[in-house]
Amino acid sequence: MGQNGMIIYSLPTVHPDSQFFMIDELTGQIRNKIELTGLETVTYEFSVRATDKPVSSPPLSSEAPVVVNVVRDLNRFTVVISEASVVSSESVTIIKNAIKRLMLFIRSSCKIVILEYVRRNDGSSEDTSAG
């Protein structure tokens, strides 16, 4: 990929909630700067800006809104499958889609993206989102 295909991501500071988050400028992955579960706020709203790096013309940029809902133990969906033999990617997808349909019924005006990362004791992380 040449310079023309490079995209840089940033968080505009005009949104007060952006102070709690950081973004990887090359991948666009958003992470929180501090532990959010102890704070009163459960919803954070800010924007992400994507800017290209053209060689000869002025850069172009676009912004997209981001809403982060903090999931606490009292509102976390926990799915337990008791028989290991029935666990497959298809069964996980079926459960995930059922939860999405339920959430869309509750919050019809919101697009839901389910992403969850688990941080291990060694500091590494794993994307546990299905599909």
| 2 secondary structure, DSSP code | -
Tell me: the pLDDT tens digits for 37-55? 777 778 889 999 999 988 7
Chain-centre distance of CA 104, in angstroms? Answer: 17
Assigned CATH for 1-70: 2.60.40.60
- The domain segmentation of the chain, as residue ranges, is 1-70, 77-131
Half-sphere exposure of 6 toward its Cβ, with a 13 Å CA cutoff? 9
State pTM to two decimals. 0.55
DSSP H helical ranges for 1-131: 89-106
Which range (26-40, 52-66, 72-86) has the least confidence?
72-86
Local structure of 85: helix, strand or coil:
helix
Q: 106: which residues sit within 8 A by CB, 6+ positions away?
A: none
